[in-house]
Amino acid sequence: MRELNTSVITQTVKELCIKANKTLPCDMERLVREGEKREQSPLGKSVFQDLCANLDAAGELNVPICQDTGMAVVFLEVGQEVLLTGAPLEDAVNKGVRQGYLEGLLRLSIVGDPLRRVNTGDNTPAVIHTRIVPGDQVSVTVAPKGFGSENMSALKMFTPAAKKEDIIGFVTDSVSRAGSNPCPPIVVGVGIGGDFELCAYLAKKALCRDTTLRHPDPLYREMEEEMLRQINALGIGPQGFGGTVTALAVNIETFATHIAGLPVAVNIGCHVTRHAAKVL
């Protein structure tokens, strides 16, 4: 049994909150920087140039790549052979978020009650997803989620009679309704299966997958490709100004489901779909 003090998790979460908000994952940055070559609209090309200039400025000035530094979503995979000591795990995570957002001078966007709307002043509490997995390591992923894109989420409980074309149509329509709101070019996370809440989790988790990795199942890999094709055919374009690159990638995650249901969720990430991870 390996012992790990949760103070290490606090420090890791702090560092990842700052890193995720100031630097894009390599695959995402490459897609944004290559977008101008793939975009056919002159205006769209100029928007991609602006997005690249924004990335450059953020790096030079050491500031966030987007003013909406998001709600902190933290995915934890805790090895069952790890004995956590020190402060309770969720307290340790929230302490890391608090330190990261305050010391990193990141925008504080969280209100403590959904109706009273009083800012907590430190961007906590975080949304925390914890899984117990084999092994003696702890994997920590921080994915700050801005709400321009989060507000465009969609979920539908299909019947088992639905075909893959129905699902593709639902995802494409969801992006069409979103329009310019999620700051395209976007990444689309799709969760298929599970139940009401799990399919939403799958869609959010899909946004953390490297965009160069396609689904291992040929059926879903083909659906990812077809969704991307249909979404880009919408003509929304970069920042909604029209063009041929509305989405940079579509990632699907799946899970078993009930014989009487077929839940599907869509979670959209903006052109700065951010996440950073570390294994302890």
What is the model's pLDDT at position 274? 96
Q: Are residues 176 and 219 in the same domain?
A: yes
**How many angstroms separate the CA atoms of 280 and 272, rounded?**
26
**242 within some domain:** yes
Residue 235 is part of a domain; what is its CATH number? 3.30.1330
197 and 212 together in one domain? yes
Q: Are residues 114 and 241 in the same domain?
A: no
Around 167, how many Cα atoms within 13 Å sit in the side-chain half-sphere?
Answer: 26
If asked whether residues 141 and 152 sit together in one domain, one would say no
Q: What is the pTM for the complete model shown?
A: 0.95
Residue numbers of the domain that contains 122: 2-20+65-145
> Which residue from 92, 85, 187 is spatially nearest to 130, judged by alpha carbons?
92
Q: Report the C-alpha gap between 49 and 54 in whole angstroms.
A: 9
Same domain, 88 and 129: yes
Residue 21: half-sphere exposure toward Cβ, Cα within 13 Å: 30
- At 217 the pLDDT is 97
What's the pLDDT at 147?
A: 96
First to last CA, the chain: 14
CA 87 to CA 109: how far, in whole Å?
A: 25
Contact between 109 and 126 under an 8 Å Cβ cutoff? The reply is no
pLDDT recorded at residue 101: 98
DSSP 226: H
157 and 98 assigned to the same domain: no
* Residue 215 and residue 141 share a domain: no
pLDDT at 9: 98
Whether 14 and 141 map to the same domain: the answer is yes
What digits encode the pLDDT tens for the residues 143-198?
999 999 999 999 999 999 999 999 999 999 999 999 999 999 999 999 999 999 99
Low-confidence ranges of the chain (pLDDT < 50): none
Query: Does residue 30 lie within any of the structural domains?
Result: no
The total number of residues shown for the chain amounts to 280
